[in-house]
Amino acid sequence: MDELQKKLAHCEERGGLTPSDLARWANVGITTMRNWIVYGRVPRSYRVKEVHRLIDILVGLVNSVPEGQPLIPYNIKQRDRLPYLDRLRDEHTRISREDSAA
């Protein structure tokens, strides 16, 4: 099993995330995400580093939630799930101006 595939499986199992959630987080299509999860294919585009950065951040968030609780709370309605995930990603993946100037 590839390292990225392990991280994605961890996010699914411990974080209660779906392939659709993972695709949204990484800004890729659901088919692409399923290929990464099921077949262990790895990103090969110009976005490889960005995808790994985003997934590493997600793993950290999943690990910060108490064991047995999903990353997205149960009380979030289905229609609000993806907007909630978008806000979470935007809050945790923002690069500060100081960091980007370095």
Predicted pLDDT at 41: 85
Contacts of 90 (CB under 8 A, 6+ apart): none
Compute the average pLDDT of residues 5-27.
95
Predicted pLDDT at 96: 47
Which pair of tokens denotes residue 23?
């695709």
Predicted pLDDT at 95: 63
Percentage above 90 pLDDT, the chain? 74
Predicted pLDDT at 15: 95
Predicted pLDDT at 97: 44
Domain ranges (residues) in the chain? 3-95
Hey, how many other C-beta atoms are within 10 angstroms of the C-beta on 22? 24
Compute the average pLDDT of residues 31-59.
90
